Structure formats: structure tokens, C-alpha cells
């Protein structure tokens, strides 16, 4: 007597990994989340570390960073406590979305002060001075 055992693997369920719901189309500025950011342009990138802080949960280090126009700033999500943070421009021009690790890069092309914050922790404030 032959018994056929057929293992049928249903492959009908597609996994869709939507990282941050960037459904509004890229490249248009605005407040679209961009978890991976851009890519740092060569060695000219300056780094802001995002670290845990006993008083304010987290902080940007350094709080104020000065770069030349055309330079990139790389935020390093380095909070070892696992607390998520965001890098969000006050004017909505960039938004890293909530992250616990990884990098976020923004290239600043226009001179001026760019203030940013963490949407999860009101005390977390930073400024990029573009000269
Ligand atoms: Cu935060």
C-alpha cells in the first residue's frame, strides 16, 4: 500500500517590511521619515552621538555642531540602554524616525542654524550651525 504524503507549503503570504511608512514618495523634502538617511559624502562628515543621559533620558553629543555648507552630519544612535530616539528637524526638513541603533545622515547645503530635536524626549535638543 502506497501512501503519498505531500507537504504543501503555502507561499501565499507575502511579508511586507515597511520600515517607517514612507508612503509619500521620496525626495520631496517635507517630513518624510528616512531611517537610513543619505550617504555621507566622503570624509567630511561630522558625527553627533546619541547617548543615554541620566538627567534627560538621552542627549545629542555634541549638542551644537558647526559644519560648512555642503558637509554631511552623521547621527550615530549609540544609546546603549536601547531607548529609541529620533533626529527630527524643527522645520520638518528631515526625520530619522524612531531608532535604537544605526546611523542617520543629512547633508546640509544652505548656511544657517538648523535646530532639531527628538520627538520622544522633549529635553533632547540640538543645533547644526551651517556656515
Ligand atoms: Cu530621545
Ligand 1 centre from 49 Cα, in Å?
12
Distance 61 CA to ligand 1 centre (A): 12
Q: What distance in angstroms lies between residue 86's CA and the mean position of ligand 1's atoms?
A: 6
Give residue 63 CA to ligand 1 midpoint distance, Å: 13
* Structural domains of the chain sorted by starting position, each given as residue range(s) with its CATH number in brackets: 42-130 (2.60.40.420)
Q: How far is the CA of 85 from the centre of ligand 1 (A)?
A: 4
**Residue 106's closest CA among 124, 80, 130, 82?**
130
DSSP string, 101-116: SEEEEEE--S-EEEEE
Instruction: Read off the pTM.
Output: 0.71
Residue with cell 553627533: 48
> Ligand 1: distance of its center to the CA of 96 in Å?
11
| pLDDT tens-place string over residues 89-131 | 999 999 999 999 999 999 999 999 999 999 999 999 999 999 9
Higher-confidence residue: 42 or 23? Answer: 42
Q: 39-96, pLDDT tens digit by residue?
A: 555 546 799 999 998 888 999 999 999 999 999 999 999 999 999 999 999 999 999 9
**Cα of 58 from ligand 1 centre, angstroms:** 5
Amino acid at each position: 500500500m502506497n501512501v503519498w504524503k505531500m507537504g504543501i507549503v503555502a507561499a501565499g503570504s507575502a511579508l511586507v517590511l515597511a520600515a517607517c511608512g514612507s508612503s509619500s514618495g521620496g525626495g520631496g523634502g517635507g517630513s518624510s521619515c528616512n531611517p537610513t538617511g543619505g550617504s555621507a559624502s566622503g570624509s567630511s562628515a561630522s558625527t553627533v552621538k546619541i547617548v543615554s543621559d541620566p538627567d534627560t533620558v538621552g542627549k545629542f553629543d555634541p549638542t551644537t555642531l558647526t559644519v560648512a555648507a555642503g558637509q554631511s552630519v552623521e547621527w550615530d544612535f549609540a544609546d546603549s540602554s536601547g531607548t529609541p530616539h529620533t533626529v527630527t528637524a524643527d522645520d520638518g526638513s528631515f526625520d530619522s524616525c524612531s531608532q535604537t541603533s544605526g546611523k542617520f545622515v543629512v547633508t546640509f547645503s544652505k548656511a544657517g542654524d538648523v535646530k532639531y530635536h527628538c520627538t520622544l524626549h522633549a529635553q533632547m535638543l540640538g543645533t547644526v550651525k551651517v556656515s
